[in-house]
Amino acid sequence: MNRTHRFAAFQRFIVNELAHQLSPKLTYHGVHHTKDVLAVCKQYARRLHISSYEAELLKTGALVHDLGFLHTYRNHEEKGTGMIQEILPKYEFNAEEIAIISGLVIATKVPQQPKTLLEQIVCDADLDYLGRSDFEPISESLFQELKNFNFLHNRIAWDKVQVKFLEGHQYHTDYAKKYRQPNKALRLEEIKKRLEMNNYGE
């Protein structure tokens, strides 16, 4: 099985698993999020002229970075790396490749601490929306998810969480620093103003 064929087959398998097995309560971490991260990673691969081989590993990491949500919410990254140890060899990924892909999954764990360029890319792709124009609807889907799992119950608490997260988060690639960070900073200021006005009506 050549690399193109193995990735295509693996992608079909993973997307099908996520689409049919993830809890409907995962309104943010659904298969749509995985597809979004994959699409952004493809953009980075083209933009940075990453080799086709490294791009395949990057795309595979994007596909599996939230695989652990099939079984657990907390520490899903560790669960996911355990799962891919069993799945990837069936698609002819070797031990070295699996180690790189596992590193991509663990790198997305907050607080993100990427060590390689590929890890920086998948981390920035995972939170690309923080600096995009669709921040509000995606943020709303995460708020709904956290309510679904009883982690949060009102918008004031959610906005406080968002402020803490946005203040602590940093992008890693030059592209994200230039094209995502400014919009992220604007969203942060908007949320802070909302908290100051305290006009939630809850």
The Cα 32–Cα 105 span in angstroms is 17
**pTM score, whole prediction:** 0.96
Q: Please report the pLDDT score of residue 202 as a whole number.
A: 60
Report the Cα 53 to chain-centroid distance in Å.
Answer: 21
Yes or no: say if 173 and 120 are a contact pair by the CB < 8 Å rule: yes
Question: C-alpha angle 168/166/140, rounded to 5°?
Answer: 145
What's the token pair of residue 181?
A: 């960070």
Per-residue pLDDT of the chain (202 residues; tens, 9 = 90+): 677 789 999 999 999 999 999 999 999 999 999 999 999 999 999 999 999 999 999 999 999 999 999 999 999 999 999 999 999 999 999 999 999 999 999 999 999 999 999 999 999 999 999 999 999 999 999 999 999 999 999 999 999 999 999 999 999 999 999 999 999 999 999 999 999 998 787 6
**Of 172, 46, 26, the residue nearest 108 (C-alpha):** 172
Q: Please report the pLDDT score of residue 201 as a whole number.
A: 72
What's the token pair of residue 102?
A: 């596992």
Q: Please report the pLDDT score of residue 199 as a whole number.
A: 77
Q: Please report the pLDDT score of residue 2 as a whole number.
A: 73
For residue 150, the SS3 value is coil
Enumerate domains of the chain plus CATH numbers: 1-111 (1.10.472), 127-202 (no CATH)
Q: Please report the pLDDT score of residue 3 as a whole number.
A: 73
Yes or no: say if 93 and 101 are a contact pair by the CB < 8 Å rule: yes
For the stretch 1-31, what's the b/e string if a residue is b when 16 or more beta carbons lie within 10 angstroms of its beta carbon?
A: eeeeebbeebbeebeebbeeebeeebbbbbb
